[in-house]
Amino acid sequence: MERFLLHSARDGGRLELGHLGRDRWQVTISLPGLSASADVDAVAYDGEHTLGLLFRRLADDWRGWDGERTWSSLEGDFDLVATHDGLGHVAVQVRLRSGPYAEDWVATGTIWLDAGQLDGVARDAAAFTSAW
């Protein structure tokens, strides 16, 4: 799978990831009033934690969890923080940076997922991350 898409259940927003090679992704977030795109590091901060694993854990715990579930790139240019409201909705906060320096731009926004979306999202994320 060459692209991974998250469609927000609330506002028509979307997060799109595309492969730029083995260790790089192009990430685009589009929300009402915001559109940002950057080429980011595809290697996770902890070395093993893949997007597929993050979304599989969210799907497995679709009824809810305490705290945050996170994924961060090694370079700190792309981060995801997922929280559950206990009512079947997951907020995935996206932070995208144009580079690793303090003066680089930062875009943040939230993609809302319904619990019923999580299984399909987990399958898509696993296919995307295993494609390279």
Can you tell me which residue has the tokens 């995801």? 80
Domain that includes residue 63, residue range: 3-130
CATH number of the domain where residue 57 is located: 2.30.31
pLDDT at 47: 54
What is the mean predicted confidence (pLDDT) over 50-79? 93
Q: What is the pTM of this model?
A: 0.93
Contact 4, 128 (CB under 8 A): yes
Residue 1 binned pLDDT confidence (cut-offs 50, 70, 90):
low
> Could you read off the pLDDT of 82-93 as tens digits, one per residue?
999 999 999 999
Six-digit token string for 43: 């290697």
pLDDT at 43: 87
Mention every residue, 6+ apart, whose C-beta is less than 8 A from residue 12: 32
Domain count within the chain? 1
